[in-house]
Amino acid sequence: MANIVEIALGNKDFSTLVAAVQAADLVEALQSPGPFTVFAPVNDAFAKLPPGTVQTLVENPPQLARILKFHVVAGRWTQADLKAQTQLDSLEGSPIPVRCHADGGDDFEVKNATVVAADIEASNGIIHVIDTVILMG
């Protein structure tokens, strides 16, 4: 089974995320045994940021790393596991609010992002694809 980084590398919808992880020097960390839960923004999520934001972040690796670590949680949290949670602590240190719909539907949100694909299994964790880059604060 592929690890989190290998899955991201194999999906063209994650090319901006992969470039950001590389610029922030987090590839090795995300290839480690983990396990990790990654809330992975697709390219369109990065495109929603104000013009120039991604380039500014790439030029500031410590800030970029902080934002990317806000998208990662220690442990393997499936969608079913998340239904019992209201928040998780990110590797960045800030809490990430989690909202699962009470009707038992498949939709759930993290902070201001909707999960568009859940429970993508990796050898070192799990990926939930999100439609918006989430920011601390």
Q: What is the mean pLDDT of each run of 10 residues along the chain (137 residues)?
A: 96 96 96 97 96 92 96 96 93 94 72 95 98 93
Establish how many alpha carbons lie within 13 A of residue 20's alpha carbon, considering only the half-sphere containing its beta carbon.
26
Domain segments of the chain: what residues? Answer: 4-130
Buried residues in 27-41 as b, exposed as e (16+ CB within 10 A): eebbeeebbbbbbbb
Contacts of residue 34, Cβ cutoff 8 Å, sequence gap at least 6: 4, 74, 76, 124, 125
Give 4-130's CATH code, choosing from 2.50.20.10, 3.40.630.30, 3.40.190.150, 2.30.180.10. Answer: 2.30.180.10
What is residue 105's predicted lDDT score, i.e. its pLDDT?
A: 58
Q: Are 18 and 26 in contact (CB under 8 A)?
A: no
Report d(CA 112, CA 79) in Å as an integer. 17
Secondary structure E strands in the chain: 36-41, 72-74, 87-89, 95-100, 108-110, 113-122, 125-130
- Phi and psi at residue 113, to the nearest 5°: -115, 145
Write down the pLDDT at residue 107.
Answer: 75
Kindly report the CA angle at 74 between 68 and 75, in degrees rounded to 5? 135
Helix and strand element counts for the chain (H, E): 7, 7
pLDDT value at residue 113:
96
Q: Give residue 108's pLDDT.
A: 87
Model pTM?
Answer: 0.94
